Structure 1
Amino acid sequence: MWFFPVVGVGVIGVLIGGVCLMSQRKSLFGVLLSMEIFTLGVYIMIFSVVYFMSELNSVCLVFLSFGVCEAALGLSVLVSLVRSTGSDYVSGLVSGHF
Structure 2
Amino acid sequence: MKKQTARSLHINRIMPSDNNILGLRAQILDNFAVTMPTELKPKIVMAHNDNAWWVIIYGNDDKPIWKTNKGTDTPELALRKMLQSSSDLVFGKFKSGGFALEG
Superposition TM-score tier, normalisation by shorter sequence = 0.3 to 0.5
TM-score by length of 1: 0.32
TM-score by length of 2: 0.31
Determine which structure has the larger helix proportion and give its number: 1
Structure exhibiting the larger radius of gyration computed from Cα positions: 1
Determine which structure has the larger strand proportion and give its number: 2
